Amino acid sequence: MFLSWSVTVVAVALLVVQQCAGEKTSCVLWSSAGAVVQRGSSFVVYCTFFPGCKTHRSMYIDGRTKPPYEWLNDTTISLRVENITEKRTYSCTSDCNPPLDDCGLDITAGYPPDKPKNISCTYRILKNDTRRVNCSWDRGRDTYLNNRFVVRVGTASGNQTGLVWSVSGTSANFTLPRSVQLMSVQIEAHNSLGSENSSIVSYNLSDIVMPSTPVVDQVECSSRNCTIKVEQPVRTPHLQIQYRDERQCNWTTYPDSVGLTTSFEAKHIPSLEPCSVYSFRVQSRFSTGLWSPWSAEVSSVTEEEAPAQHLDVWLAAGPDFRSMRVYWNESSISVCRGSIVQYTIRVNSSNLTVVTNVSADVKNHSVPFCSDCAVTVQAVNSKGSSPPATMTTRHTTAKPILDVQVTAENHTVAISWRKAETAPTHYVVEWYPEGHVLDELRWARLEGNEIVVTLTDINPWECYEGAVYVFYNQSSVSRTSFKGIATLEAAPEIGPSAQEKVERNKVTVSWTQLRRVQRRGCITKFTIYLENSHGVQTRYSAEASQTSYPIEGLPPDSYSLWMSASTSKGEGPTGQKIKFYIEEDDHLSTVLMCVFVTVTVLFTLFLWKSSVVKHRFKEIFQCLMPDVVPDPANSKWAKECTKEKGKMNLHLPSHNSSFTDPEEETILVDVEELCRRMGDSSSPKSDRLAFPPESGEGQETELSALLYPPLTTYIKSLSHDSDSSGHTQTSLDTNTTIDYISSHGQDNLDNYDQEDEEEFPGMQFFPSLSILMEPVGFGGKLTLDAVKIDCGDFFQNV
């Protein structure tokens, strides 16, 4: 009952004050602990409504939450707050007549101030000899309230000299007379929940005196040293200079720093690296007291020098040994002593020197292939070139190292080997994605006592290969290769696309390698599936390095073919299926036909060699063969007549003369053909030919036969018929018959051939070299030099 009356009295008092202040609200709010409470405390919030506000009365926290409040009486409600941890806003609402505003209360939670500690004061002498004290302290934990601090300063006599009021800061600045040498400081902290005083701290001003911060005015650098110009408001006996390379974190203190004798003086910093960016800062101190704060950093770049060391160079040849590529590692700035503007590549061979300049952003270059040459690379900057780094292509093959072990795991590859028996000068390990030796080669050079290297720049799902080189000297090198290395593997994503080329009963399957992203590791083999029209399937395996595979001996049929690729993790899906046909081979029938024709021709030629066959052939086809008649114009007499045109000298005997022509008697003409077989020097017919010795024409013919041994026609005599017993110039009863060489002479030749065959029966199976030559004819331009013609009849009617 007492609490209810007390709350009512307080509420009425607040209402009266509010009305006097002119506020028109429907209620009044207050807390049992006030508007500022300590965090974690508990208290009660009360809300009293005006008599005219009797409907829809309630309380809210932060305008959203309706807490479980209680009614103390008809006009007042209460809410107990437990363990408050942050600022809260409480409000009450109701319907009033006339309408009035809602009422609210902000309750702030915080902590009372802690005792200030770690008081630090400095005594700074400024340029115009102004002396100012700066003190700072640690206020402790955050109070979440507005704090204020009072700084109490005392001199050696104990008199208080000044107060500094600071609402929220933790430092204070104030001035002191130059006569003050000792000082004491105490800090008092205040907020809404209480106050605390720090301990009293005493200072000797000579111990806390500090000069003003110096300024780095200018820095000028050569390649190896820099000159720093420092400005100070007040000269000090001590000056400290620090510098660092921008690629480093630690500062280096220049050991011989001494104070400036004037307010503006230069300092020299030696032993710097060329073409490097350096930052500088300075601080100063009196003979006693504290160092000044560091000055702002000033940076500068040292000048360049010609590179001092040769490049790290490696040379690799392509798999076809038609091209080479030289590689080099980019040196650090400290090595190259400047910004590289280009690289000079020189290839020296016995008869040619090729010099090429490439830009600074290039780290490899293709050079002409040579089996005995030296490749030199130099880095060039604005001051000169580096010493030449040389690789030779001619080496003596040394004994290779054994037991090269490659282990791939966790996206890294470890390569180790057994130490060489002879101590090498160094090792070189190269590695590259499979099939990309010149495009993506990387390498590492190791000392002669190292036997393991770890490769970290390995792409997953990629197949790598490489080699370990051992250099015993400049020309003695051994090489041990490794391949099929992958940190992560899976079955290939797709199958190869195959193409076929059919040749009779053979098909050649060709394909292109899968793209690198589709291989998913190292391909171990390719599988070719072949299926005929009956569904019989055959598998063929091809090595991973192959791009074609021949399949022979296929019978005529229709076939289907497809392929797949495999890694160590399994076989991938098959590629697109293709179809082809093996047709019947008609080449055999063509060969048989050629053999038949050849045999027929040879048999015909063999039969044609027989005279009986030739004679029978001529008898059958006699009607198709024209008669051959000699041309008298080719006679010797005709030739003599043409020598004197228009003249003819005939010496005829007188009709009554008793001149008797020795050749008046009838002479029979025998025509005979003798064929001499070439190469048969032992044949009697080729040694000697018998002719009647009484005929002069026979001797001439024999001589002709000796001059033309292969085929000669001899004329022994000629036939001359005359039925007159007397030779008179005017006789018209003379019946003279001129007999020419008739076409029956060929029959005589045939008879001669027949006799020849009877004499040499064993030669009939060996055709003559003139087997295709026709027998000699007796027509055309036959010259009848041995034929005598009686011209008397031509002049019978003259």
Q: How many CB atoms lie within 10 A of CB 161?
A: 15
H or E element at residue 335: helix 333-336
Q: Residue ranges of the domains in the chain?
A: 25-110, 117-205, 210-302, 306-386, 395-488, 498-582
Predicted model pTM: 0.51
CA torsion angle 484 486 490 495 (round to 10): -50
For residue range 198-254, what is the model confidence (pLDDT) as tens digits?
999 999 999 999 998 889 988 999 988 999 998 888 888 888 899 999 888 899 988
pLDDT single digits (tens) 589-630? 677 788 888 888 887 877 777 777 777 777 776 666 665 566
- Given the candidates 3.40.190.10, 2.60.40.10, 2.60.120.1130, 3.30.1120.10, the CATH classification of the domain at 306-386 is 2.60.40.10
Higher pLDDT, 69 or 633: 69
Q: Is 100's pLDDT higher than 70?
A: yes
Is the confidence at residue 551, as pLDDT, over 80? yes
- The continuous run of DSSP H or E covering 244 comes out as strand 238-245
Burial class, 253, CB count within 10 angstroms (exposed 0-12 / middle 13-18 / buried 19+): exposed
State whether the Cα torsion 727-733-739-740 is positive or negative. positive
Task: Please say whether the structural domain 25-110 has been given the CATH code 2.60.40.10.
Answer: yes
Q: What is residue 174's predicted lDDT score, i.e. its pLDDT?
A: 85
pLDDT of residue 247: 84
Cβ within 8 Å of residue 605, ≥6 positions away: 767, 771, 772
If you average pLDDT over residues 458-468, what whole number do you get? Answer: 90
Tokens, residue 152: 């109490």
Between the ranges 89-98, 543-552, 625-634, where is the mean pLDDT highest? 543-552
Three-state DSSP state, 516? helix
What does the pLDDT look like over 661-708, one tens digit per residue?
444 444 454 544 444 443 344 333 334 333 333 434 444 444 344 444
How far apart, in whole angstroms, are the C-alpha atoms of residue 140 and residue 692? 163
- The residues facing 721 across adjacent strands are 737
Residue 747: predicted pLDDT: 45
Do 229 and 265 meet the contact criterion of CB atoms below 8 Å apart?
Answer: yes
Two tokens at 611? 């005279």
Name, in order, each residue with C-beta under 8 angstroms of 439's C-beta and a sequence gap of 6 or more. 432
The pLDDT tens digits of the residues spanning 758-783 come to: 444 444 433 433 333 444 444 444 44
Of 20-24, 55-59, 279-283, where does the model show the most confidence? 279-283
Give 494 or 589, the one with higher predicted confidence.
Answer: 494
Superfamily of domain 117-205: Immunoglobulins (2.60.40.10)
Q: How many CB atoms lie within 10 A of CB 709?
A: 13
C-beta neighbour count of 527 within 10 angstroms: 18
> Is the pLDDT higher at 558 or at 757?
558
Where does the pLDDT of residue 571 fall: very low under 50, low under 70, confident under 90, or very high at 90 and above? very high
Average the pLDDT over 144-166 and give the result. Answer: 75
**Residue 531 pLDDT exceeds 90:** yes
How is domain 210-302 classified at the architecture level of CATH? Sandwich (2.60)
Mean pLDDT score, 133-151: 90
For residue 616, the one-letter residue type is R
530: pLDDT strictly greater than 50: yes
pLDDT of residue 125: 84
Across 373-389, average pLDDT: 89
Most confident of 539-543, 604-608, 743-747: 539-543
Percent of the chain topping pLDDT 90: 28
> Quick one: 395-488 is in which CATH superfamily?
Immunoglobulins (2.60.40.10)
Q: Considering the chain, what is the average pLDDT of its residues?
A: 76
Residue 120 β-bridge partners: 136
Instruction: Give the residue from 700, 695, 735 showing the smallest Cα distance to 718.
Output: 695
| pLDDT of amino acid 741 | 42
Of the candidate ranges 492-496, 553-557, 663-667, 715-719, the one whose mean pLDDT is the lowest? 715-719
**What is the per-residue pLDDT for 159?**
52
Q: Give percent of the chain with pLDDT exceeding 70.
A: 71
Q: What's the half-sphere exposure (Cβ side, CA atoms, 13 Å) at 40? A: 3
What's the pLDDT at 330? Answer: 75
The pLDDT tens digits of the residues spanning 420-456 come to 778 888 899 999 998 888 888 999 999 888 889 998 8
Q: What band does 115 get if pLDDT is binned at 50, 70 and 90?
A: very high
pLDDT value for 14? 53
pLDDT at site 6 = 53
> Does residue 565 carry a pLDDT above 90?
yes
Higher pLDDT, 636 or 185: 185
Task: Please determine, for residue 746, whether its predicted confidence score (pLDDT) is greater than 70.
Answer: no
Helix (H, G, I), strand (E, B), or coil: what is residue 448? coil
**Position of tokens 């030289």?**
326
Residue 621's pLDDT is what? 67
Q: How confident is the model at residue 730 (pLDDT cuts 50, 70, 90)?
A: very low
pLDDT in tens, 286-343: 889 999 999 999 999 998 888 888 888 998 887 777 788 999 987 766 566 778 889 9
Instruction: Tell me the average pLDDT across 46-70.
Output: 86
Angstrom distance (rounded) from CA 367 to CA 349? 12
User: Lowest-confidence range among 90-99, 394-403, 434-443?
Assistant: 394-403
Cα separation of 29 and 47, whole Å? Answer: 5
d(CA 503, CA 371): 41
Q: What is the pLDDT of residue 299?
A: 93
Query: May I ask the CATH class of domain 498-582?
Result: mainly beta
CA separation (Å) from 224 to 48, 240, 270, 273, 574? 85, 20, 6, 6, 67
Residue located via tokens 């390995």: 458
CA distance 75 to 63: 21
165-179, 342-356, 436-450, 504-518: the lowest-pLDDT one: 165-179
